[in-house]
């Protein structure tokens, strides 16, 4: 009896236990993992993926033509532990007939919660307030000291009313938002009805919103969308939040808008690059809150993401329908 040939799987990072366990149970796979929480060096990634049938990667791993060439003809499945796929060379992957799995839906709630946290932290100036307590700046109660901006009766503009955009709007409704605006590739009347949200142009959304939340995908159309012209159209009292991808924003233009008082404040969970260098000008500003891309960072969500990524990979390798396949 001929021995069963195992399929080689390469995992680019330590992943949470549920996904790791699912791969360990796969008797038809030989799994190799980069055993670190830090990103795998490019040369190690090329070495690890050589001859692999399946690749489980993260959003920080750039899967380009060079890496696909290094992998060779065996590679049949790429499973990314992310909802975003801008790190994958999709046209090249499609050309080679490689299937792609990703992890939508499972991180929607966690990311929406983080967006709310970041919005409230930014508009109510919480990092500044905490610093004042610690450095002795809190001397007495003062009528206008540490005042920020409230959500009640405000206009909120959401760029990208997809799963996450809708989840954010759903959480904002109880705060007494007066008006929701949204923009995107096309109107979404069915989804917008729940919030009585109005589809408008990007300039109109910029000009009329008190709070702007970017929740769109990174595409050629959205890259650099929030630039100097965009910020100049915003109210001087407006607060800008980005939880999508760093490249949607021109960060030099954002810095100028914040430093000059063109807009009131910004909160970012995503930047370009990631991590943001510690000497970046945005980090010198009191009115800019920056988080290290933790939108989906709850124990439950990350475990669920890892399990879905593992199941996508295994299903693809076995020629079965994936739980979440990206149609190319």
3-state secondary structure of 56: strand
Q: Which helix (H) or strand (E) holds 77?
A: strand 77-80
CA distance 47 to 102: 23
Asked if residue 3 has pLDDT above 70, the reply is no
Question: Are 105 and 276 in contact, with CB atoms under 8 Å apart?
Answer: no
Asked if residue 278 has pLDDT above 70, the reply is yes
Share of the chain above pLDDT 70, in %: 99
Q: Which of 5-9, 111-115, 237-241, 247-251 has the lowest mean pLDDT?
A: 5-9
* 7-55 pLDDT per residue, tens: 999 999 999 999 999 999 999 999 999 999 999 999 999 999 999 999 9
pLDDT at 2: 46
pLDDT at 1: 40
* 155-187 pLDDT per residue, tens: 999 999 999 999 999 999 999 999 999 999 999
CA distance 290 to 273: 13
3-state secondary structure of 89: coil
* Phi-psi label, residue 254: left if phi above 0, alpha if psi -120 to 50, beta otherwise: alpha
CA distance 190 to 113: 23
Residues recorded for the chain: 328
CA distance 262 to 257: 5
pLDDT at 4: 55
Give me the phi and psi of 157, to 5 degrees please.
-105, 130
* 183-204 pLDDT per residue, tens: 999 999 999 999 999 999 999 9
pTM of the model: 0.92
CA distance 132 to 51: 56
Query: Which residues partner with 182 through β-bridges?
Result: 158, 199
Q: ∠115-15-106 over CA atoms, to 5°?
A: 40
Domains of the chain in start order, with CATH, are 7-105+299-326 (3.40.50.720), 107-290 (3.40.50.720)
DSSP 267: E
Asked if residue 5 has pLDDT above 80, the reply is no
* 73-82 pLDDT per residue, tens: 999 999 999 9
Contacts 24+ apart (CB under 8 A), 87-92: 87/57, 87/59, 87/60, 87/61, 87/62, 87/63, 88/63, 89/63, 89/64, 89/65, 90/326, 90/328, 92/64, 92/65, 92/68
**Active-site residue 293, yes or no?**
yes
* 48-61 pLDDT per residue, tens: 999 999 999 999 99
What integer best gives the mean pLDDT of the chain? 96
């Amino acid at each position: 009896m001929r021995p069963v040939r195992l399929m080689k799987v390469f995992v680019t990072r330590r992943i949470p236990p549920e996904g790791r366990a699912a791969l360990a149970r796969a008797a038809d796979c030989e799994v190799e993992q980069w055993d670190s929480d830090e990103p795998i060096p490019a040369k190690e990634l090329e070495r690890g993926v050589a001859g692999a049938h399946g690749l489980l990667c993260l959003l920080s791993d750039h899967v380009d033509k060079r890496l696909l060439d290094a992998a060779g003809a065996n590679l049949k499945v790429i499973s990314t532990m992310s909802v975003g796929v801008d790190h994958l060379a999709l046209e090249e992957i499609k050309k080679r007939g490689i299937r792609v799995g990703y992890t939508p839906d499972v991180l929607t709630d966690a990311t929406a919660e983080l967006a709310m946290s970041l919005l409230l932290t930014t508009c109510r100036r919480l990092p500044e307030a905490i610093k004042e307590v610690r450095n002795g700046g809190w001397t007495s109660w003062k009528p206008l000291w540490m005042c920020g901006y409230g959500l009640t009766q405000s206009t909120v503009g959401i760029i990208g009313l997809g799963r996450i955009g809708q989840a954010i709007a759903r959480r904002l409704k109880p705060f007494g938002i007066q008006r929701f605006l949204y923009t995107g590739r096309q109107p979404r009347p069915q989804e917008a009805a729940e919030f009585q949200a109005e589809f408008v142009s990007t300039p109109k959304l910029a000009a009329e919103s008190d709070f702007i939340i970017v929740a769109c995908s990174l595409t050629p159309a959205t890259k650099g969308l929030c630039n100097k012209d965009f910020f100049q159209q915003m109210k001087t009292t407006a607060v800008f939040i980005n939880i999508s991808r760093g490249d949607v924003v021109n960060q030099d233009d954002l810095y100028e808008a914040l430093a000059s008082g063109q807009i009131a404040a910004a909160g970012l969970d995503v930047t370009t690059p990631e991590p943001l260098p510690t000497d970046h000008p945005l980090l010198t500003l009191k009115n800019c809150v920056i988080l290290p891309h933790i939108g989906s960072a709850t124990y439950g969500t990350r475990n669920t993401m890892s399990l879905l990524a593992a199941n996508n990979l295994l299903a693809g390798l076995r020629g079965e329908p994936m739980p979440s396949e990206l149609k190319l």
